[in-house]
Structure 1
Amino acid sequence: MTPLAQALLNPRRIALIGASADDQRLTARPQRYLRRHGFAGELFPVNPRAAEVLGERAFGSLVDIPGEIDFAYILLGTDNVEAQVAACAARKIPVACVLADGFAEAGPEGAALQARILAAAQGSGMRLLGPNSMGIVNLNARTALTTNAALEAENLPAGRVALVSQSGSMMGALLSRGAARGLGFSHLIGTGNEADLTAGEIASLLLEDADVDVVALFLEAIRAPAQLAAAAAKARSLRKPIVALKLGRSPFGAELATSHTGALAGSDAAADAFFRAHGILRVSMMESLLELPLLVAGRSPPARAHRAVGVMTTTGGGGALAVDALGVLGIEARKPDAAAAGRLEAAKLNAHGRLLDMTLAGTRPDRIMAGLDALRAAEDTDLVLAVVGSSAQFRPKDAVGGIIEGAKLAGKPVATFLAPQAEASLRLLAEAGIAAFRTADTAADSIAAYCAWRAPRETADIAAPTIALPARPDEADARGVFAALGLDSPFAVMQDTPPGDMRYPVALKILSPDLAHKTEVGGVALNIADAAALREAAAAMRARVAAAAPQAKLTGMLVQPMAKGLAEAILGFRRDPEVGPVVLLGAGGVLSELHRDIALRMAPVDLETAREMIAEVRALKPLSGWRNLPLGDLEALARAVVAASRLAGVAQVAEAEINPLIVGRPGEGVTVADAWVVLR
């Protein structure tokens, strides 16, 4: 264990700065909880107004404490934190944790205060946890160094899942929910504002702990993506999965985006792409964060995902409920294949459709084990879900005994959904290391996360071109960017005189760095037949746009041949503020934001990833020859996705898009119909 890991996760000499002698106060909780739960190390309450705090000698200040200190928990109000951080730094304490809020989350003054305490800590090499941190809990070491009221419980089970939470209150919520059903944690760490120590860095430390099998993350934001990516890489090498629940699925944050791509590739979609790229399992429900770890502990991502499961049930209604919940998330409850059917026949069990109904077999362990063995033999499913009915409530050992014994054999994962309220069965399954779900929805959420789990694909560095752009680019400049990437379609720029070598009919568009959406101001005219009509259309357009957008700077007009194809796509790039560069492909045209039919990946991507993205966009499905429709040039589209993703290496570009990108027949390639770029 590194010195930082020792000081942060298993401190033995702890200073409690601002510890209260009144055991009813919040600032007395860390001392009470540490002693209640068996902490065997040394505590040093710091309180200048008391000689003794809760039966232990108190110290007037840090300088009065003899010897080294591993960890200081600053329990004082915001106004007193800066001085105490400086005092901790002067004592060369390895880690200091700040409980108080009122820092970066409170506005400019708080952000400035946070910057000052971070600078003070860094000046001495001290690491800072928080501010706004509820501290750390190490249940194996009996270290309950927190103010969270969940630690009022008399007994807390230890487990092999470590929780890192940006929300202190959720530490207690998950701890108490897990304890109620026999699911324990190894550690719980509240990171708060993450001024210094981040969820990713702490996850890396936890992964090295022999008592940790899975790291669970409760995230409000991804604050240091490079550190979280490094933790994910370590998790893969150690076969210790990371499971994340991240808030922020609401679309409202996209309203301020200037391009369609910005609106579509919101931070939550980018977070999904980030988790996928780094092999982090993402769930959407709090219960799933408790339940999924047992399903993935000690496992690596499946080599091939079928997005299908085998379902065995002792309750027809409960089984149907599970099948329905899985189907909503795109996971198929699949009929047994030949391999599974052969074993079922040998065991004299009959599968009807998508369910292996074991109701008449009762809870006989040998029959349940035989059913599980058969379904696990299927070659076209990812795992087996066993659904248990009322027997789980009244005869827990009989109800789940066969599942527990059957799951001991090597093979694909086994999960359970208990239809009744059955706490005893939940505990038995948890003790056996089998993921057990209390609702069909959380079972489906967790199983969908497992089926989406992939080993990251290594992408070779892709050289990006050097591109010179004006401070305020218009569409012609944006087209120049994409042309440098290999996506070049013919166009010309005109002022009043039509270009002499243009192929008619043409489209005419206003050029302005201020008008991303030209149709809204009458800045687009289509199917112009000849030069005379073009001249007339240009004059009318200038007048129309000047009236609709009098403040916009007009740099000219863009003329391009009308293009036909089989489909329109939107191809975009965005440098997400949380996770970095992403590339987006979706249904194109003026309704792209309405349809929100997209695929998103971290950029850059390779051809195989680009093909996967194309397959995910429903509007592009007809181009694959669906129901004998004409084939589209999907390889040209895939190459275009790869090309756009190379913008990750063009530092000055914040957003860029082609909308629409017209896809032709095989050999016809793709045509840039409209382009836009936003600089950083």
Structure 2
Amino acid sequence: MHSLHRALFQPRRIALVGASSDPKRLTARAQLYLRKHGYQGDILPVHPREAEVLGERAWPTVADIPGTVDFAYILLNTPQVEGVVEAVAAKGIPAACVLADGFAEAGPEGAARQSRLLATAKRAGLRILGPNSMGVVNLNDRIACSVNAALEADSLPAGRIALVSQSGSMMGAIMSRGAARGIGFSHLVGTGNEADLTAGEVAGLLVDDPQVDAILLFLEAIREPRHFADLARRAHAAGKPVIAYKLGRSPYGAELATSHTGALAGSDAAAEAFFRAHGILRVTTLEALIELPALARAARPPAQPKRAVSVTTTTGGGGAMAVDCLGVAGIEARAPDAAAGAKLDAAGIAHHGRLLDLTLAGAKPDRVAAAIDALQAAGDTDLVLSVIGSSAQFRPQDAVAGIVRARDAGGAKPVAAFLVPQADASLRLLAEAGIPAFRTPESAADCIRAWCDWQAPRAAAAAPAVAHALPARPDEADARHLLAALGLTSPFAVLRSPQDPAPDLRFPVALKILSPDLAHKTEVGGVRLYIPDAATLAAEAAAMQARVAAAAPAARLTGFLVQPMAKGLGEAILGFRRDPEVGPVVLLGTGGITAELFRDVTLCLAPVTEHEAMAMIAEVKGLRPLGGWRGLPRGDLAALARAVVALSRLAAREDIAEAEINPLIIHPGSEGVTVADAWAVPAG
């Protein structure tokens, strides 16, 4: 096992720097909890004035502790932390956790303090958890080195699920929710500010731990995405699902964006693409974070999931809720097919519609088992969901017996349960049996949707370099030259003044003002369409120059762009963005001036392959008619896919923050695509 893993999760000697002899104080909790929950190693309180702290021998400084120390929990106030980190580093302690806040989250002064702390640690090879971290808990080895109040509980169920949380308070909240229903954890870690150790790197240390079967992530941000990518790849190879709950909508978005892409590709959408690309299951409800591991550990989804389930119920209303919530999540509850129907007929179970209602037969275990067994024979579903009513609350053994019996019979599909009443005893029984169980229809749908979405981590596509210089302040013509270097060419010409001769282009043409300062030209009168001839072009250019100068006097005007009018079957927005959290992403959606209004878009980590580009096209509702929907003419979607691939190659250009084509006109048949408007934003 990695030496850092041993220091963090299996320390034999723990220094508690700043431990309090007053058991009512926060800084006494770590020592109290370590002993309360059975830690067998050496607890080494550090206190400048006390010879003994809560029954343990204390030491005046870290340097005074005899022998080696595996882990230090620094419990001091913020101003004292820097000096103690120096002492911890000098002692040769491999890992330390900092409880105090007031660092990077507290403004420039705190950020500078955190930077100094990290520099000190790095010089000595000391790894830091936090600052602002509530510590580390390893329940299987009975190590509760944390100040989280949830550890006041007399007993904590150990299990095989690890939680890495950027929120310290959520460590205890999630642990207590799991304990209430018999779900135990192996490890719980609060990463806090992540000045050094990130959630991805800490979780990566747990992949090879034999006590861990699944890893949960409670995230506010994605820091150091390479750590998450490495974690996900190794966890997938080890057969251990990684499940994320991420909150925090991006502060970037429309407010700071210079293009539609920036407004549409907010960090949450980029995070969604990141999780999908790396095979990390994402849930949207807190219950699902706790409930999904049982399903993900029980079975990988089919190679080609049908996104459909069979539902049997002993309560019509509860079953209908499940069907409804599943539908909202994009999962269809399907009526039994011929194979399932034949087995139901043989068992004497009536069936019709999407919901197999056993209400009149009650929750008799043999009937429930027979119904589940029959539904497992269906060839068009991925999973069987059993919805149980009041019996789950009042007769837990009987309520779950049929589900367990059907699972043990070894059917072809995983079996899960949604318990409609508050039925903690039944939930615990199902947890002990390793059967996925859901407390609400919303979390059931969230879990099943995430499970169906689950894929292996994608292999990164190649991103060959694009050798084309982009000016520091590019206008649209500069952006189009960059696109041409990528292979995306459409005819255009540049006029530097209204007096320039008309270009050799097919009329009618579109005329647009050129400026590095105007991403949205229409709003300042900088676009004119269907100009019929050269004389009109000259007149329109002169009028446009005066109009835009009046509307945007601070904008630098660099000329005019002229291009032939083009008409296609549809329009798309195609964008590239270097997301501040996850890195380069490519965006595709319905285009034009309503792109931000409808937000009909999909994102993928860049670069992408043509296969991935075609999958993106299929996800955009507004582009579906171009696939020949209901006999409509087909658009050149192959050319659109090639355009997506081409723009995604900007991932290799660290000097480009954003680029966009909006709209990209899609022509019929195999007539290609036309760049109608382009924009590029240099990085930095």
Q: How many Å apart are 1:339 and its aligned residue? A: 2.7
Aligned to 1:541: 544
Distance change in 2, residues 1:68/1:299 (3 Å):
farther
Aligned to 1:486: 487
Q: How many Å apart are 1:253 and its aligned residue? A: 4.3
Matching residue within 547, 564, 568 for 2:567: 564
User: CA deviation digits over 1:394-450, x for unaligned, max 9?
Assistant: 100001111112123253222211111111101101111112111111111111111
- 1:584·1:599 contact (CA, 8 Å) conserved in 2? yes
Aligned to 1:468: 469
Task: State the alpha-carbon separation in 2 of the partners of residues 252 and 485 from structure 1.
Answer: 27
Task: State the alpha-carbon separation in 2 of the partners of residues 423 and 300 from structure 1.
Answer: 27
- 2:163·2:215 contact (CA, 8 Å) conserved in 1? yes
- Residue 557 of structure 2: SS of its match in structure 1? coil
Task: State the alpha-carbon separation in 2 of the partners of residues 298 and 444 from structure 1.
Answer: 17
Aligned to 1:196: 196
Is residue 357 of structure 1 aligned with residue 363 of structure 2? no
| Aligned-partner residue type, residue 25 of structure 1 | R
Aligned counterparts, 1:293-372, within 5 A: 293-297=293-297, 299-372=299-372
- Residue 131 of structure 1: SS of its match in structure 2? coil
Is residue 3 of structure 1 aligned with residue 3 of structure 2? yes
User: CA deviation digits over 1:554-595, x for unaligned, max 9?
Assistant: 110000000000111000000001000000000100110010
Distance change in 2, residues 1:399/1:73 (3 Å):
same
| Aligned-partner residue type, residue 427 of structure 2 | L
| Aligned-partner residue type, residue 227 of structure 1 | H
Distance change in 2, residues 1:261/1:170 (3 Å):
same
Aligned counterparts, 1:405-444, within 5 A: 405-408=405-408, 409=410, 411-444=412-445
Q: Which range is displaced more, 115-124 or 243-252? A: 243-252
- Residue 478 of structure 1: SS of its match in structure 2? helix
- 2:571·2:665 contact (CA, 8 Å) conserved in 1? yes
Task: State the alpha-carbon separation in 1 of the partners of residues 251 and 340 from structure 2.
Answer: 43
- 2:253·2:262 contact (CA, 8 Å) conserved in 1? no
User: CA deviation digits over 1:117-174, x for unaligned, max 9?
Assistant: 1111111111110000000000001111000000001011011100000000000110
Task: State the alpha-carbon separation in 2 of the partners of residues 380 and 631 from structure 1.
Answer: 29
Is residue 384 of structure 1 aligned with residue 384 of structure 2? yes
Task: State the alpha-carbon separation in 1 of the partners of residues 615 and 209 from structure 2.
Answer: 36
- 1:466·1:650 contact (CA, 8 Å) conserved in 2? no
Q: How many Å apart are 1:379 and its aligned residue? A: 2.2
- 1:135·1:190 contact (CA, 8 Å) conserved in 2? yes
- 1:614·1:620 contact (CA, 8 Å) conserved in 2? yes
Aligned to 1:15: 15
Q: How many Å apart are 1:596 and its aligned residue? A: 0.2
Task: State the alpha-carbon separation in 1 of the partners of residues 300 and 481 from structure 2.
Answer: 44
| Aligned-partner residue type, residue 310 of structure 2 | G
For structure 2, the 5+ residue unaligned runs are: none
RMSD: 1.2
TM-score, scaled relative to structure 2: 0.98
Q: How many Å apart are 1:56 and its aligned residue? A: 1.0
- Residue 207 of structure 1: SS of its match in structure 2? coil
Q: How many Å apart are 1:4 and its aligned residue? A: 0.9
Is residue 62 of structure 1 aligned with residue 65 of structure 2? no
| Aligned-partner residue type, residue 527 of structure 2 | V
Task: State the alpha-carbon separation in 1 of the partners of residues 374 and 95 from structure 2.
Answer: 53
Q: Which range is displaced more, 72-81 or 428-437? A: 428-437
| Aligned-partner residue type, residue 651 of structure 2 | A
Q: How many Å apart are 1:250 and its aligned residue? A: 6.5
Task: State the alpha-carbon separation in 1 of the partners of residues 33 and 98 from structure 2.
Answer: 18
| Aligned-partner residue type, residue 157 of structure 1 | P
Is residue 404 of structure 1 aligned with residue 397 of structure 2? no
Task: State the alpha-carbon separation in 2 of the partners of residues 23 and 124 from structure 1.
Answer: 33
User: CA deviation digits over 1:485-512, x for unaligned, max 9?
Assistant: 1110000001222434121000000000
Task: State the alpha-carbon separation in 2 of the partners of residues 148 and 358 from structure 1.
Answer: 45
Q: How many Å apart are 1:346 and its aligned residue? A: 2.6
- 1:498·1:534 contact (CA, 8 Å) conserved in 2? no
Q: Which range is displaced more, 386-395 or 452-461? A: 452-461
Q: How many Å apart are 1:460 and its aligned residue? A: 3.6
Distance change in 2, residues 1:328/1:250 (3 Å):
farther
Task: State the alpha-carbon separation in 2 of the partners of residues 87 and 285 from structure 1.
Answer: 43
Aligned to 1:259: 259
User: CA deviation digits over 1:216-271, x for unaligned, max 9?
Assistant: 00000000100010000011100000000000247874422110000000000000
- Residue 585 of structure 1: SS of its match in structure 2? strand
- 1:302·1:453 contact (CA, 8 Å) conserved in 2? no
Aligned to 2:176: 176
Aligned to 1:523: 526
- Residue 175 of structure 2: SS of its match in structure 1? helix
Q: Which range is displaced more, 517-526 or 447-456? A: 447-456
Aligned to 1:580: 583
Aligned to 2:681: 678
Aligned to 1:36: 36
Distance change in 2, residues 1:267/1:71 (3 Å):
same
Would you say how many aligned residue pairs link Structure 1 and Structure 2? 680
User: CA deviation digits over 1:585-642, x for unaligned, max 9?
Assistant: 0010011001000011001111111111111111111111112111111111111111
Aligned to 1:279: 279
Task: State the alpha-carbon separation in 2 of the partners of residues 647 and 340 from structure 1.
Answer: 50
Is residue 503 of structure 1 aligned with residue 506 of structure 2? yes
Aligned to 2:290: 290
User: CA deviation digits over 1:336-384, x for unaligned, max 9?
Assistant: 2233223222322232111111222322222212211222222222211
Task: State the alpha-carbon separation in 1 of the partners of residues 339 and 515 from structure 2.
Answer: 63
| Aligned-partner residue type, residue 579 of structure 2 | D
- 1:314·1:388 contact (CA, 8 Å) conserved in 2? yes
Aligned to 2:148: 148
Is residue 77 of structure 1 aligned with residue 77 of structure 2? yes
- 1:633·1:663 contact (CA, 8 Å) conserved in 2? yes
Task: State the alpha-carbon separation in 1 of the partners of residues 375 and 251 from structure 2.
Answer: 40
Distance change in 2, residues 1:55/1:438 (3 Å):
same
Q: How many Å apart are 1:451 and its aligned residue? A: 1.2
For structure 1, the 5+ residue unaligned runs are: none
Q: How many Å apart are 1:205 and its aligned residue? A: 1.0
Distance change in 2, residues 1:121/1:251 (3 Å):
closer
- 1:17·1:47 contact (CA, 8 Å) conserved in 2? yes
Distance change in 2, residues 1:273/1:228 (3 Å):
same
Is residue 636 of structure 1 aligned with residue 635 of structure 2? no
